[in-house]
Structure 1
Amino acid sequence: MVTIYDIAAQAGVSAMTVSRVINNTGKISDKTRAKVQRVMDELNYVPNHMARSLVLQQSKLLFLLITDITNPFYTTLARGAEDAAKKSGYRLLFGNSDESSQKEKDYIDTILSTRADGVLIAPASDSSLPHLESLRRHNVPFVLLDREVPGMGSDVVLGDTKEGARKLVDHLISLGHRRIALINGLPTISSARLRLEGFREALKLGDLAYDEQYVLESAFEPKSDLSDIESWLDSMDPAPTAIVAGNNVLAVEVIRTLHARGLRVPDDLSVVGFDDLGPYSEIDPFLTVIAQQAYQFGYLGMQMLIERIEERGAAAQPWRRVVLPAELVVRRSVAKLPE
């Protein structure tokens, strides 16, 4: 293994000079810096970032923990987070909790053991509270994305998810729909609770009654077994004319179930949802959605996290809560019903 002493000997400088070049500290001439860098390149030297972090008390390593990397919303969010981290000279590691509290805890333990400078996290659910408390006890800054956790004050970047749900229902009502169903995330997730609130408020403003038979609570994740959706579709009487899906994954699952039954969207049933289906949805635009600013979630969240990290030791600033507006994107997954 190449050491700084090997580099110093070949470059004809002191080990302290090599250390200063690696850590970008101290006063060194451009000529000396270039000579040391050239020798490092020739010897294929890879800095020991763990040792460096012990000296500087900063690893320049950040962690992004999300709930489902296969969801295009989080994929785009991750791109924004990575771009912001790289711009500020940080490296970024990724983790995927799969909406699992235990898996999230395992990642938090790993984050603490790697001495990461901070964490950008979309919490699995309200049960994430002790995991966040663990980060705070160890003085690891974090910023929440997309979801809040009751009892935990922190910086957070959210979408205006309640207003988004109202817009979807208003759009359906404007096209003549009166029996509107909702397949949503579990009530232990803050964004799912807000979407249900927006759904109910829009029904009330549209003089439509809320009926629990038209609401199904399901995990915000892909399923191999669609039996709960099938049972729900069979149980509603009378059948709905439109379904609001709490995220893009659930929208796809509903459409898969309908197609398996020989039903067409929107001819037989209209479907709308939250978040787009990825960058290639433009090729055959189909699903009417509330499009959230996924890239900005990641980029702004990362900027807030880095600011917290670099402000450590200064007077604590108030928690910041950013709510990003969402846009209704109308496509062809909703049929207009006769008056």
Structure 2
Amino acid sequence: MAREAGVSISTVSNALNGIDVLHPNTREHVLKVAKRLNYIPNLNGKNLKSNATKVLGLFITSMQGPYYGILADAIYKECEKLGYELNIFLTKNEFTALANIFGKRIDGAIISNEYIREEHVEKIEQANIPTVFLDREFVGRTISSIVFDSYKGGQDVARYLLNLGHRKICYIRGYENLYDDVQRFKGFIDTIDKSGILFSHDDLLVGYFEEEASYAAVKAYVKSGKALPDAFLAANDLSAIGCMKALKSEGIIVPDDVSVIGFDNIDLSEYVSPLLTTVNNPIARQGILAVDSLIEIIQGKKSHGILEKLEGNLVVRNSCTLNKNVLIE
């Protein structure tokens, strides 16, 4: 490239990296030659010199459903805004994930991967790798966490349903090994217990955060002949939508016969019928904060990682109503 342009290697580097030390005509000449040659800079060589890649890594285990699309898009846009590239590592293999985290291919990691366990976190900290966890409470010298307060959200929806007079509530879980699912269910159960209502294990379904799986679980529940609950509480909106479709297929009217409530406030929740009552989860905000926090760690602006909790709010729409069979004081 330098030979073709008739300039030094340093001049090529300055032109390609926008360093303002060249005459405008020289820079324009180098860029025209680079374009004609379809020249691609050797980032590995550059990285060896600067010890930086200007690339962040997002480690996730799925792209299914609206949640991950919103999250990844927000992270990508914030990276672009701040001059970083984003690599997405989609894997359930912790060794693959760790190889890329420790392989110096990225400047820092944003991790939403439950297969990265506590013993791995210790090694990440020992290696001083800038890292931000999403919905995992880890903090260290170079490790921060951005967490949605799912426990409070579980409390809020439980209180809302109780205040409507609902006493028999069926809960649709996602994956019980995931932080947000565990915290939402715990917030719900703790609130129900404090009210003096006994929650039956028969009223616990598993929908895997998916519309189809939740549809099947609710359909089987209704067909089993069990007494219909006053309300269904789903751990995310897709499960709630699957629930409403299953109830409709069985001739059960929401909310006249039974109330349904979800979590996350995805776009679809405003377009289903009836409109879905849910808890707003600031997914995009969480992604933006993750990038900002990670870059601050990379640039040495933080002497120690932090744990930041984001709260959601209840979004009341049309899928819940008063239980007419219970006298509310």
1:107 lines up with 2:97 in the alignment: yes
State the identity as a percent: 30
- In structure 1, what is the equivalent of residue 192 of structure 2? 203
- Checking the alignment, whether the CA contact within 8 Å between 1:123 and 1:147 is kept in structure 2 is no
Matched positions, count: 324
2:87 to 72, 90, 93: 93
- In structure 2, what is the equivalent of residue 246 of structure 1? 235
- In structure 1, what is the equivalent of residue 114 of structure 2? 124
**Residues 60 and 153 of structure 1, relative CA distance in 2, 3 Å threshold:** closer
**Residues 235 and 192 of structure 1, relative CA distance in 2, 3 Å threshold:** farther
- Checking the alignment, whether the CA contact within 8 Å between 2:125 and 2:141 is kept in structure 1 is no
- In structure 2, what is the equivalent of residue 141 of structure 1? 130
- Compute the displacement of 1:301 (Å): 0.4
Aligned-partner SS, 2:239: helix
- In structure 1, what is the equivalent of residue 55 of structure 2? 61
1:48 to 42, 46, 65: 42
**Residues 199 and 67 of structure 1, relative CA distance in 2, 3 Å threshold:** same
Aligned-partner SS, 1:274: coil
1:189 lines up with 2:167 in the alignment: no
- Checking the alignment, whether the CA contact within 8 Å between 2:60 and 2:112 is kept in structure 1 is yes
Report the more deviating stretch, 53-62 or 205-214: 205-214
1:72 lines up with 2:66 in the alignment: yes
- Checking the alignment, whether the CA contact within 8 Å between 2:145 and 2:308 is kept in structure 1 is yes
1:5 to 2, 10, 30: 2
Q: What one-letter code is carried by the residue in structure 1 that aligns with 2:46? A: R
- In structure 2, what is the equivalent of residue 337 of structure 1? 323
Q: What one-letter code is carried by the residue in structure 2 that aligns with 1:14? A: S
- Checking the alignment, whether the CA contact within 8 Å between 1:73 and 1:276 is kept in structure 2 is no
Aligned-partner SS, 2:109: strand
**Residues 307 and 220 of structure 1, relative CA distance in 2, 3 Å threshold:** same
Gapped regions of structure 2 (runs ≥ 5): none
- Compute the displacement of 1:234 (Å): 5.6
- Checking the alignment, whether the CA contact within 8 Å between 2:207 and 2:214 is kept in structure 1 is no
- Checking the alignment, whether the CA contact within 8 Å between 1:129 and 1:151 is kept in structure 2 is no
- Checking the alignment, whether the CA contact within 8 Å between 1:273 and 1:287 is kept in structure 2 is yes
- Checking the alignment, whether the CA contact within 8 Å between 2:141 and 2:303 is kept in structure 1 is no
- Compute the displacement of 1:25 (Å): 5.4
Gapped regions of structure 1 (runs ≥ 5): none
Q: What CA RMSD, in Å, does the superposition of the two structures yield over aligned residues?
A: 3.1
- Checking the alignment, whether the CA contact within 8 Å between 1:226 and 1:257 is kept in structure 2 is yes
- Give the structure-1-normalised TM-score: 0.82
Aligned-partner SS, 1:158: strand
- Compute the displacement of 1:228 (Å): 4.7
